[in-house]
Amino acid sequence: MIDTPLQFRDPALAHAMAATLKRLVEQLDRPAAVMHVCGSHEQAIAKFGLRSLFPKALDVIMGPGCPVCVTDVPEVDEGVLLARQGVRLATFGDMLRVPGTVASLADAQADGAKIDIIYSPRQAVEIARNTTDEVVLFASGFETTAVATAAVILDDPPPNFSVLSAHKYIPPVMEIVAEMPGSRIEGFLAAGHAAVITGSAVFEPFVERNRVPVVIAGFEPMDILAGLVELVDLILAKTPRVVNMFPRCVTREGNLAAQEQLWRVFRPIGGRWRGIAHVPNGNLRLRDEFAHVDARKRFTIDLPSLWDFAPPALARQCICGDIMAGIRNPRDCRLFNRECVPENPIGACMVSNEGTCKIWHLYGGVPDLEASA
Amino acid sequence: MCLGVPGRVIEVREFTATVDFWGVRKDVRLDIVDEPVAPGDYILNHVGFAIRRIPPESVQETLALYEMLLGGDDADLMTSDVRGEISGAMKGTS
């Protein structure tokens, strides 16, 4: 675990903000739960020990904010099968150890499959330009990353390049989590940088339908505290609406040029998010006009060939889905920090830097900083 | 991974800009940036694409956060994600 003391550029302001939050939660006079949907928010909350400043009656839960973690088992299987066919796979490093039905990409790589780790979809195109092999970009990530995939598809990639899209779209899953039976979520903290693309307006229909407020916040400790103050204020006032607390990056309409490219290339379809549920419109797939760069159309991927195998026994004990739905936290898991550690992850939440379990493993979940402050 | 990283634009060539990230110069694509970008501007880079031109009045505030994050060691998740974003841009060809 990393020992990170609270680092605020203005500690007095931070403590004043924390006191305001405490006062508002006291006014609420009941326990409340709010959810954020961004791995970077959880990293900042954990890294800066913010949970020690949150009132005990306010539960700040990380939802399905880790795109690698919600990449479904059959999607990993598709990548594994393509790699086993001799296709050269380019993917983000976090994807390597995400468990599939019988194998991860790392297992396939150990068996001789060609897998390149990339940081940018552009690097996958570069690899394709320099080889005669078929190169498939196994693309994960939310809309912020999907726009980069869209841009390389529109930029005339070489004929041996195609895309296996596991891209996911965040707004629909908020709906699913808000409507889950037993959901205690009364408000959402939306991720500043994802909203750079979509704009704050994308959340307006959600608020209208679900009567739950959404506050867009940045990643500084103060941004997060201020976002929570605003969120609890909206819960108290029973005036659900969208508030943009990150105007230096996010506008109401968002980045229109990026949205145009995103929706020209992708269409939203329903699909499963690992451990969560079927999410209507939650998956981004290539439109028919881009069938020539769609790995699902270009190759035969015989998924059922993998499905005669039962998942390993340990994986069945994984509660990753409940953690991402906000029903339980990593400490409720029998595997957390025992059988399941970043070096040997059982569930996807321990694999990615944005996974709740990996973040809690590294920083601890709720450090007791009050005692040492 | 959705954190992005700010950098200063050195040169613009059609759809590509050479961008300086704390002394490391990389090429960033401008296909999906929201506004025209000129040398001296700051942009937010995500996986090799500029996704936003940072308003001049917000530049200092934005850089300060990242300088704090970059000060961590590689085991730190935020530090490693920011470094990953810098690597996500491509080595300049010029």
Find the helix or strand (DSSP H, E) in which A108 lies. Answer: helix A105-110
pLDDT at B61 over 90: no
A positions 102-141 inside 8 Å of B (CB): 119-123, 126, 141
- Residues B48, A120: C-beta atoms closer than 8 Å: yes
Query: Does A308 or A117 have the greater pLDDT score?
Result: A117
Within-domain flag for A226: yes
Which of A122, A123, A223 would best serve as a mutation to test chain B binding (most B beta carbons within 10 A)?
A122
Within-domain flag for A194: yes
Query: Does B73 or A78 have the greater pLDDT score?
Result: A78
Q: Both A127 and A193 in a single domain? A: no
pLDDT for res B93: 47
A positions 24-83 inside 8 Å of B (CB): 38-40, 43-44, 47, 67
Q: What average pLDDT is seen over chain A?
A: 90
Lowest-confidence region among A142-146, A342-346, B42-46: A342-346
Query: Does A220 or B7 have the greater pLDDT score?
Result: B7
Within-domain flag for A34: yes
Within-domain flag for A311: no
User: Once rounded to an integer, what is the mean pLDDT over residues A309-327?
Assistant: 79
Within-domain flag for A212: yes
Q: Both A132 and A200 in a single domain? A: no
Q: Is A360 on the interface with B (CB under 8 A)?
A: no
Number of domains in chain A: 3
Q: Is A1 on the interface with B (CB under 8 A)?
A: no
pLDDT for res A23: 97
Which residue type, as a one-letter code, is found at position B86? Answer: I
Lowest-confidence region among A227-231, A286-290, A337-341, A368-372: A368-372
pLDDT for res A310: 60
Of A7, A197, A353, the CB nearest to B81: A353
pLDDT at B2 over 80: no
pLDDT at A136 over 70: yes
Which chain A residue lies closest to B78 (C-alpha atoms)?
A: A43
Query: Does A252 or B84 have the greater pLDDT score?
Result: A252
pLDDT for res A285: 98
pLDDT for res A351: 87
User: Once rounded to an integer, what is the mean pLDDT over residues A192-212?
Assistant: 93
Residue A54, CB-side half-sphere exposure with 13 Å CA sphere: 26
- Residues A258, B32: C-beta atoms closer than 8 Å: yes
- Residues A44, B78: C-beta atoms closer than 8 Å: yes
Distance CA A366, CA A229 (A): 19
Alpha-carbon distances, residue A178 vs A187, A232, A271 (angstroms): 9, 16, 18
- Residues B29, A257: C-beta atoms closer than 8 Å: no
Q: Both A75 and A153 in a single domain? A: yes
Task: Residue A161: give the domain boundaries.
Answer: 68-170+281-306
Which of A119, A155, A222, A359 would best serve as a mutation to test chain B binding (most B beta carbons within 10 A)?
A119
Q: What is the CATH number of the domain that holds A154?
A: 3.40.50.11740
Chain A residues inside the 8 Å CB shell of B90: 120, 122-123, 126
- pLDDT digit string, tens, across residues A90-108: 999 999 999 898 899 999 9
Q: Both A98 and A161 in a single domain? A: yes
pLDDT for res A369: 45
pLDDT for res A308: 66
A positions 251-270 inside 8 Å of B (CB): 255-258, 261
Q: Both A89 and A143 in a single domain? A: yes
Chain A residues inside the 8 Å CB shell of B46: 144-145, 148, 193
- pLDDT digit string, tens, across residues A157-175: 999 999 999 999 999 999 9
pLDDT at A3 over 50: no
Q: Both A101 and A154 in a single domain? A: yes
pLDDT confidence bin for A141, thresholds 50/70/90: very high
pTM comes to 0.90
Q: Both A38 and A74 in a single domain? A: no
Burial of residue A156 (CB within 10 Å: 0-12, 13-18, 19+) is exposed
Highest averaged pLDDT of the listed ranges A61-65, A111-115, B3-7 = A111-115
Q: Both A234 and A287 in a single domain? A: no
The CA-to-CA distance between both ends of chain A, in Å, stands at 19
Within-domain flag for A260: no
Q: What is the CATH number of the domain that holds A197?
A: 3.40.50.11750
Which chain A residue lies closest to B76 (C-alpha atoms)?
A: A2
Q: Both A183 and A39 in a single domain? A: yes
Q: Are strands B90-91 and A242-244 parallel, antiparallel or unpaired?
A: unpaired
pLDDT for res A2: 41
Within-domain flag for A137: yes
Q: Both A102 and A34 in a single domain? A: no
A137, β-bridge pairs: A90, A163
Chain A residues inside the 8 Å CB shell of B77: 43, 47, 353, 358-359, 362-363
pLDDT for res A7: 55
Q: In what order do the strands lie in the sheet with A32-36?
A: A58-62, A32-36, A185-191, A214-217, A242-244
Chain B residues inside the 8 Å CB shell of A2: 72, 75-76
φ/ψ of residue A191, rounded to 5 = -80, 125
Distance CA A223, CA A16 (A): 13
pLDDT confidence bin for A365, thresholds 50/70/90: low
- pLDDT digit string, tens, across residues A264-310: 999 999 999 988 889 999 999 999 999 999 999 999 998 877 766 66
Distance CA A221, CA A284 (A): 31
User: Once rounded to an integer, what is the mean pLDDT over residues A366-370?
Assistant: 51
Q: Both A163 and A180 in a single domain? A: no
pLDDT confidence bin for A210, thresholds 50/70/90: very high
Which chain B residue lies closest to A3 (C-alpha atoms)?
A: B76
What contacts 24+ positions apart, CB below 8 Å, involve B20-23?
B21/B45, B21/B86, B21/B89, B22/B70, B22/B86
Of B2, B62, B90, the CB nearest to A144: B2
Q: Both A191 and A238 in a single domain? A: yes
